[in-house]
């Protein structure tokens, strides 16, 4: 079984936040949104933050933020692997829940690249890799460096 124990994203990220000092860097994340109709949207320079156990992915212009608020998480070596169960898109002051079908988040808080289980690939230091599928057929991917972890 992939996960030996399940924990909330809040607990895992809170623990990691206590161990790490907040780090701010230039936004280096990229979000790719592949719509069911075949159209794609790519957002570069996305800010990636962890705050109070939630993951925030904010567009460069600040017009939109995807917030992952709940997930089942476990460690695989030094990588935190989460299966998100609750996410929302916040735009123009309104929050709209994303009807998630499936997804996986990989977080590497370590100071060096970490190998992904059953893969020759490595997740760079202080980075995230995410893939979500919604029930309406939209596929979203995110990769980049975590810009900030805020302790709480």
pLDDT tens per residue across span 121-143: 999 999 999 999 999 999 999 99
Domain 7-150 CATH (choose: 2.50.20, 1.10.357, 3.30.70, 3.40.50): 2.50.20
Percent of the chain with pLDDT over 90: 74
Tokens for 76, please give them: 């695989």
Identify the CA nearest to 47 among candidates 39, 36, 55. Answer: 55
- Provide the pLDDT for residue 52: 83
- For the chain, what are the domain ranges? 7-150
**Has residue 102 got a pLDDT over 80?**
yes
For 32, 65, 69, 100, 112, the CA distances from 138, given in Å and listed in that order, are: 10, 16, 19, 9, 32
Q: Rg for the chain (alpha carbons), in Å?
A: 15
Tell me the pTM.
Answer: 0.81
Segment (H or E) for 83: strand 79-91
Q: Give the C-alpha separation, 74 to 124, whole Å.
A: 18
Q: Give the C-alpha separation, 14 to 119, whole Å.
A: 28
């Amino acid at each position: 079984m992939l996960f030996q124990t399940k924990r909330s994203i809040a607990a895992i990220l809170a623990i990691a936040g206590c161990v790490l000092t907040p780090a701010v860097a230039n936004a280096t994340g990229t979000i790719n949104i592949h719509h069911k109709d075949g159209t794609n949207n790519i957002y570069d320079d996305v800010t990636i933050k962890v705050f109070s156990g939630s993951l925030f992915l904010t567009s460069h212009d600040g017009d939109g933020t995807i917030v992952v608020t709940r997930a089942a998480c476990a460690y695989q070596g030094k990588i935190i692997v989460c299966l998100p169960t609750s996410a929302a898109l916040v735009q123009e002051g309104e929050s709209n829940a994303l009807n998630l079908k499936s997804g996986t988040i990989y977080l590497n808080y370590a100071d060096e690249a970490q190998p992904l289980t059953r893969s020759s690939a490595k997740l760079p230091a202080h980075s995230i890799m995410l893939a979500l599928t919604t029930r309406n057929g939209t596929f979203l991917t995110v990769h980049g460096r975590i810009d900030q972890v805020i302790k709480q």
